[in-house]
Amino acid sequence: MVVQDKSNSVNSSRTMDGSQNKVEANILLLGAENVGKSALTVRFLTRRYIGEYGDIESIYSHTDRIDGREISFNIWDSLHPQNYEVEGYISEKQLQWADGFILVYSICDRASFNVVRQQVQRIRLYKNKLSAPTPIIIVGNKRDLKHRRTVSSEEGRLLALSSDCGFFETSAAETYHGVLLVFHELLDLIREARALKKGTAGFKGIVRSMSAVFGRRRTE
Ligand SMILES: Nc1nc2c(ncn2[C@@H]2O[C@H](COP(=O)(O)OP(=O)(O)OP(=O)(O)O)[C@@H](O)[C@H]2O)c(=O)[nH]1
Ligand SMILES: [Mg+2]
CATH code, domain carrying 171: 3.40.50.300
Q: Which ligand 1 atom minimizes the distance to the CA of 57?
A: 23
- Dump pLDDT digits (tens) for 24-64: 999 999 999 999 999 999 999 999 999 999 988 999 999 99
State in Å: Cα 62 to ligand 1 middle.
Answer: 21
pLDDT band at 218 (very low <50, low <70, confident <90, very high): very low
pLDDT of residue 127: 78
pLDDT band at 130 (very low <50, low <70, confident <90, very high): low
Name residues contacting ligand 1 (CB within 6 A): 33-39, 51-53, 55, 79-80, 141-142, 144-145, 171-173
Domains held by the chain: number: 1
C-alpha–C-alpha distance, residues 140 and 144, integer Å: 11
Mean pLDDT of the chain: 84
Kindly identify the ligand whose nearest atom is closest to the C-alpha of 145: 1
Strand partners, 67: none
2, 3, 29, 34, best to mutate for ligand 1 pocket (most atoms within 8 Å of CB): 34
Q: Are 134 and 186 in contact (CB under 8 A)?
A: no
Question: Which domain covers residue 163, as residue numbers?
Answer: 3-219
